């Protein structure tokens, strides 16, 4: 364990306080401006509003159709995360526990996806989805997120599976357990911290993504939250009061998810660093 003297502890505490204010200030300003009118935002962007009203939230919810956008984002995010966790964990289990030809090549090929941004392949992705008649569908968007999230997830989960003692699986095999039972009943529960880390990281990426929904979706009824909020950005002016209200509502699911799984997330990050 790292031991710090009193001076180091005080310095670290001050640094963390400063970091907290640096990170929290933009969110605080956003939240305060969500109750103001356009005039108040321009005149007093950092001041507390004189009268708190939920009119901005009501207008933002109705004009951006955030109800359907929330539902679309939840469907896409949850389904994408489920697909990423399932396919990447199965792939990580196969690479970690079985020895076969081209095993290392397959792993390196997958990890190469971490070095290449998925947006570089936007044209091939669009052409492929168009040939499969998946343009302007949630299924097409989900498939893109699963494909782009598998590399990182496989890398993280494999590291955890490599640390599982092989003796546990050998004992299960002696008791008649099939490879599927070993994967589902032993490997997955022991890699829960990694699954939480992967799930949270992918949830944030999918929920906040604007690029792929803009390219793939064209129907208003299928828009995700970031795409729906873009309705307040105009060619000549932006409706900042409605943007602030809409963005304040859009970050609520992320805050709730991190609040519920913060301990598991920190545990997974810590164990991953130790490994």
Name every residue whose Cβ is closer than 8 Å to that of residue 175 and which is 6 or more positions away in sequence: none
For the chain, the first-to-last Cα distance in angstroms comes to 16
Please report whether residue 23 resides in a domain.
Answer: no
Please report whether residue 177 resides in a domain.
Answer: yes
Please report whether residue 29 resides in a domain.
Answer: no
- Give per-residue pLDDT as tens, 119-137: 888 999 999 999 999 999 9
**Residue 64 phi, psi dihedral angles, 5° rounding:** -90, -5
Please report whether residue 22 resides in a domain.
Answer: no
Q: How large a percentage of the chain has pLDDT more than 90?
A: 50
Please report whether residue 18 resides in a domain.
Answer: no
Number of domains in the chain: 1
Partners of 233 in the β-ladder: 238
- Give per-residue pLDDT as tens, 134-190: 999 999 999 999 999 999 999 999 988 988 888 888 888 888 888 899 999 989 988
Name every residue whose Cβ is closer than 8 Å to that of residue 66 and which is 6 or more positions away in sequence: 60, 225, 228, 229, 246, 249, 250
pLDDT reported for residue 2: 57
Cα-based torsion angle of the residue sequence 99, 100, 104, 107 in order, rounded to the nearest 10 degrees: -90
pLDDT reported for residue 142: 97
Asked which of 5-9, 99-103, 168-172, 182-186 is least confident by mean pLDDT, the reply is 5-9
Please report whether residue 73 resides in a domain.
Answer: yes
**Residue 273 — very low, low, confident or very high, per pLDDT cuts 50/70/90?**
very low
Asked which of 3-17, 113-127, 238-252 is least confident by mean pLDDT, the reply is 3-17
Please report whether residue 30 resides in a domain.
Answer: no
Domain region containing 73: 55-274
Token pair listed for 100? 């076969």
3-state secondary structure of 273: helix
Please report whether residue 234 resides in a domain.
Answer: yes
CB-count exposure of residue 4 (10 Å: 0-12, 13-18, 19+)? exposed
CATH code, domain carrying 248 = 1.10.3720.10
């Amino acid at each position: 364990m790292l031991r710090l003297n009193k001076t180091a502890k005080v310095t670290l505490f001050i640094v963390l306080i400063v970091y907290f204010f640096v990170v929290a200030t933009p969110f605080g300003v956003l939240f305060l401006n969500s109750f103001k009118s356009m005039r108040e935002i321009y005149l007093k962007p950092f001041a507390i509003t004189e009268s708190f009203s939920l009119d901005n939230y009501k207008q933002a919810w109705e004009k951006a159709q955030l109800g359907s956008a929330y539902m679309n984002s939840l469907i896409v995010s949850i389904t994408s995360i489920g697909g990423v966790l399932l396919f990447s964990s199965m792939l990580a289990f196969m690479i970690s526990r079985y020895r076969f030809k081209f095993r290392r090549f397959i792993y390196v090929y997958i990890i190469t996806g971490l070095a290449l941004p998925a947006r570089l392949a936007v044209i091939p992705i669009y052409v492929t989805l168009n040939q499969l008649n998946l343009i302007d569908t949630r299924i097409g968007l989900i498939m893109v997120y699963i494909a782009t999230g598998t590399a990182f997830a496989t890398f993280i989960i494999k590291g955890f599976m490599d640390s599982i003692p092989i003796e546990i699986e050998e004992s299960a095999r002696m008791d008649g357990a099939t490879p599927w039972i070993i994967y589902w009943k032993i490997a997955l529960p022991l890699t829960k911290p990694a699954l939480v880390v992967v799930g949270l990281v992918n949830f944030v990426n999918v929920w906040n993504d604007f690029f792929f929904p803009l390219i793939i979706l064209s129907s208003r009824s299928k828009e995700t939250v970031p795409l729906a909020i873009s309705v307040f950005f105009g060619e000549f002016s932006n409706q900042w009061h409605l943007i602030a209200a809409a963005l304040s509502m859009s970050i609520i699911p992320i805050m709730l998810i991190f609040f519920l799984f913060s301990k598991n997330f920190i545990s997974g990050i810590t164990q991953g660093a130790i490994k």
